[in-house]
Amino acid sequence: MRSTALPARFALYLVTCLAACLAAAQTSETPGKTQGYIESTEVLAVEVPVQVLRNGEPVRGLTAADFEIYEGRTQHAITGFEVLDLSAAPAPTPANTPQAAKPAPVPPSARRRFVLLFDLSFTSPTSLAKARQSAKTLITGLQPSDLVAVSSYSPVRGPELVLNFTADRRQATEALERLGSAVVAADPLRLNLPPMETGHAASGGGGAAGRRGDTGDSGGGGPDINAVINAAVEKAGVDQQQRDVVAFSRAVGSFAKMLGSVRGRKYVVFLSEGFDNKLMLGSQDDDEMQAMSEASASGEYWKVNSDARYGNTKLSGDVEKMIEELRRADCVVQAVDPGGLRAFGGENGVKPGAGGQDSLFIMADGTGGELYRNYNDLSVAMHDMLTRTSVTYVLSYQPEGVKHDGAYRKLRVQLKNAPRGTQVVYRPGYYAPKEFKDQSPLERMLDAAGRVVSGQEGGAIATSVLVAPFQGAADKAYVPVLIEIDGRGLLSGPRQGTALPVEIYTYAMDEQGTVQDFFAKTLALDLKKVEPALRQSGLKFYGDLALAPGSYSLRVLVRNGATGALSSRVVPLTVPAFAEQKAVLLQPFFPEAPGRWLLIRESNEVPKDVPYPFQIRQEPYIPAAAPVLQPGQEARLSLIGYHLQPGVLTADARILRSDGQELGADNGEIQVKERQPGETANAPDRLAATFRPPALQPGEYLLLVTLTDAAGRAETSTATFVVGKGAHG
């Protein structure tokens, strides 16, 4: 029986590699291109998603020439133009298009982003249960490109982001069950929820909306002590409700400002019964106003509530500031009263229009949204809104001289020769970028998560990623992920103390955008000990994932936690169905000499169900993510295959340029030196080989290796390599 623990030789090898690293790097769990890939300049591109409506229906067929865009009084040239039509059928795939070809990605700013915001303060438990069920129905009706986030507000914890913007409908539905409960997020970007505890029950609701006093009546004469006490109790209740509204307005306003850092329009589906509007505007009841007027005239001042009579201007100001922050963040509030049937007068005996619907209307109308009353099925209520927003035009322009001060800058979009009745809906402005040091933790999290979900690549830190699947002991593959991070890029920029914080996030998403596995780590590197090693090469991080057979998009984000410098990479990955016993040849691996990198593992725990995957002649090694080869110089090569036929295997090599073009007749020389068969039926065969590249110019290339058995059956795999600057050809 083959041992499932790491070989002792590798344990000693790893200890040698990590001896200096582990003493210098304190790790904690935090709630592409190859080397030389660096952005040297930053160009601010402002993207403005626009919807054009006529008679409530989206207008199609417009071009960039139909629009004008202004920042203040200055008109800007439109430098980018994209269209997303969610109702259009996908274009047919030409017969000569490779099957692997994918449709063009949706522009991040064109993707609809829905924020399900549940009010746990002014909503009863019964209505909250209705809201949760309606939201589940809404989620199932969204388009694949739509993103949804789940959040809540409570007086105790304020606004909370339960789940970040994601295309994962399963996670979004599960997040609805977490409302009102403290969730300890294992994922610092909140793209993946922790497992649900058994017996979990969501709580919340029945907050300030239930705290109301009763008005007493003395029956005339002098001040009745009971009437005075009742009036005092009522006023205390009203005062508390006003404080609750102030806290809500300020918290949601701050939350909206953070959402302003997220690209694209945000549709905030606010599920709440609202608060009593007379807290702001005073009573709208004629009988109540008449009674207070008579009490004031007769000197019965204890019967007069000045806020109820005249409204609270300070409270109104706080609510208006919240609405302004929502507008500035390009948030459209779609307010939904989950009270449902109560507005028909049948439930709870409440009159139509009573309760907090006026306050919900103010929030919705003030941001360009609508108030949905009397709806138990939210998908029906939102159908018109989804139709109106099905066509989005994304206009881009590049302003000059924008300071990174977070200031708000107003925008205006005009449609040329617009027919009467045409409505142009667009973001009213944008916030200028902030320096990383001035960003809040929530803004930093939203930015990182947005890059991961959108698949946006770029950044100033050069990184290379190697990922390969190996057969696991159960139904999931063991997938090592090696990330090589350029040390000089990490060290660039101002420093804060002697510790260098490095954030590493890796997510494996399937074709539906569901996170199937992830790891996240924050490292605190002691520069007094490791700076020379970082400057010489950089940091090499070894993590692993557990994935079922299928196709994945691996999203890797590395960020300097002090300066904000980062690298964002997207790597395609296919995990074979090893259980089908079909031949599989993994990508070629180039072993690296130990000591080149500052090497750190995701976890110090040794996997007990998977043997260490990288070995040649039973000697462990660590492969290079971006191997650098020299023309004419022989390099060691490791080939690993599953279910290969026994006997002699011959190897053939082809080299392609980075753009996929054939190199020519000379593809170098590859030789298989030794074959080590697997010790069990599920263990891989390991082949020790060498590769000698031909004369090549410096740059990035693709190596295609084909193994052929005696019967002519062939398996092919690929790997990238780099020819160093010292090469000549």
SS3 assignment, position 697:
coil
Residues 6 or more apart in contact with residue 414 via CB below 8 angstroms: 67, 68, 69, 70, 424
Residue count (the chain): 729
498 backbone dihedrals φ, ψ, rounded to 5°:
-100, -5
Biggest CA–CA distance in the chain, Å, is 113
108: left (phi over 0), alpha (psi -120 to 50) or beta: alpha
8-38+460-723 homologous superfamily: Immunoglobulins (2.60.40.10)
Q: Are 215 and 234 in contact (CB under 8 A)?
A: yes
Greater pLDDT, 41 or 631: 631
What one-character-per-residue DSSP string does 580-649 give? G---EEPPPB-EE-TTSSEEEES-SSPPSSS----EETTEE-EE-SS-EE-TT--EEEEEEEESPPSS--
Q: Are 129 and 179 in contact (CB under 8 A)?
A: no
Q: Model confidence over 388-418: pLDDT tens digits?
A: 888 999 999 999 888 888 889 999 999 998 8
pLDDT at 689: 93
Q: CA 302 to CA 224: how far, in whole Å?
A: 9
Q: Are 84 and 51 in contact (CB under 8 A)?
A: no
Q: CA 81 to CA 151: how far, in whole Å?
A: 32
| Residue 77 structure tokens | 């040239």
Orientation of helix 313-328 relative to helix 357-366, angle to 10°: 40
N-terminal to C-terminal alpha carbon distance within the chain: 50
Q: Model confidence over 344-380: pLDDT tens digits?
A: 444 443 443 445 788 888 999 999 888 887 665 666 6
Q: Are 539 and 600 in contact (CB under 8 A)?
A: yes
pLDDT at 289: 54
Q: CA 548 to CA 576: how far, in whole Å?
A: 9
- Of the candidates 363, 149, 400, which has an alpha carbon nearest to the alpha carbon of residue 264? 149
| Residue 355 structure tokens | 């309760």
For the chain, give every domain's residue range.
Answer: 8-38+460-723, 46-89+104-109+390-437, 113-207+242-290+312-388
SS3 assignment, position 435:
coil
Residues 6 or more apart in contact with residue 212 via CB below 8 angstroms: 234, 237, 241
The continuous run of DSSP H or E covering 27 comes out as: strand 25-28
Segment 455-466 mean pLDDT = 93
Q: Model confidence over 558-590: pLDDT tens digits?
A: 999 999 999 999 999 999 999 888 999 999 999
Q: Locate the DSSP E strands across 63-169.
A: 67-71, 74-76, 80-85, 113-119, 147-154, 158-166
Residue 342 DSSP symbol: G
- Hey, what CATH class is 113-207+242-290+312-388 in? alpha beta
51, 161, 385 from 287: Cα distances, Å: 45, 43, 38
pLDDT at 387: 83
> Is the predicted pLDDT of residue 723 greater than 60, yes or no?
yes
Residue 383 DSSP symbol: H
Secondary structure tally for the chain: helices H, strands E: 14, 37
- Of the candidates 551, 544, 548, 545, which has an alpha carbon nearest to the alpha carbon of residue 574? 551
Rg over alpha carbons for the chain, rounded to the nearest Å, is 31
One-letter identity of residue 408? Y
The 3 state secondary structure assigned to 136-154 is HHHHHCCCCCCEEEEEEEE
Segment 704-708 mean pLDDT = 93
Q: Model confidence over 665-694: pLDDT tens digits?
A: 788 899 999 999 888 777 899 999 999 999
- Of the candidates 262, 12, 32, 258, which has an alpha carbon nearest to the alpha carbon of residue 158? 258
| Residue 154 structure tokens | 């409570």
- Of the candidates 479, 607, 591, 471, which has an alpha carbon nearest to the alpha carbon of residue 7? 607
Handedness of CA 382, 386, 387, 393 (dihedral sign): positive
pLDDT at 346: 40
pLDDT at 348: 41
pLDDT at 331: 92
Q: For residue 721, how many other CB atoms are within 10 A of its CB?
A: 21
313 backbone dihedrals φ, ψ, rounded to 5°:
-65, -35
SS3 assignment, position 448:
helix
Q: Are 670 and 687 in contact (CB under 8 A)?
A: no
Percent of the chain past pLDDT 70, that is, above it, reads: 75
Residues 6 or more apart in contact with residue 687 via CB below 8 angstroms: 638, 639, 640, 641, 649, 651, 672, 673, 674, 675, 676, 707
pLDDT at 292: 53
Q: Which of 66-75, 217-226, 593-602 has the lowest mean pLDDT?
A: 217-226
Segment 14-39 mean pLDDT = 40
Q: CA 545 to CA 505: how far, in whole Å?
A: 12
Q: CA 166 to CA 192: how far, in whole Å?
A: 9
Residues 6 or more apart in contact with residue 226 via CB below 8 angstroms: 216, 218
| 510-513 own/partner pairs: CB under 8 Å, 24+ apart | 510/550, 510/551, 510/552, 510/553, 511/550, 511/551, 511/553, 512/144, 512/167, 512/168, 512/169, 513/144, 513/166, 513/167, 513/168, 513/453
Q: Kindly report the average pLDDT of the chain as a whole number.
A: 80
Q: Are 339 and 274 in contact (CB under 8 A)?
A: no
Half-sphere exposure of 396 (CA within 13 A, CB side): 14
> Is the predicted pLDDT of residue 610 greater than 80, yes or no?
no
Q: In what order do the strands lie in the sheet with 477-486?
A: 463-467, 477-486, 538-547, 598-601
pLDDT at 604: 62
Q: With 0.85 as the threshold, say if the pTM is over it.
A: no
Helices (H), 455-603: 487-491, 527-536
Percent of the chain past pLDDT 90, that is, above it, reads: 43
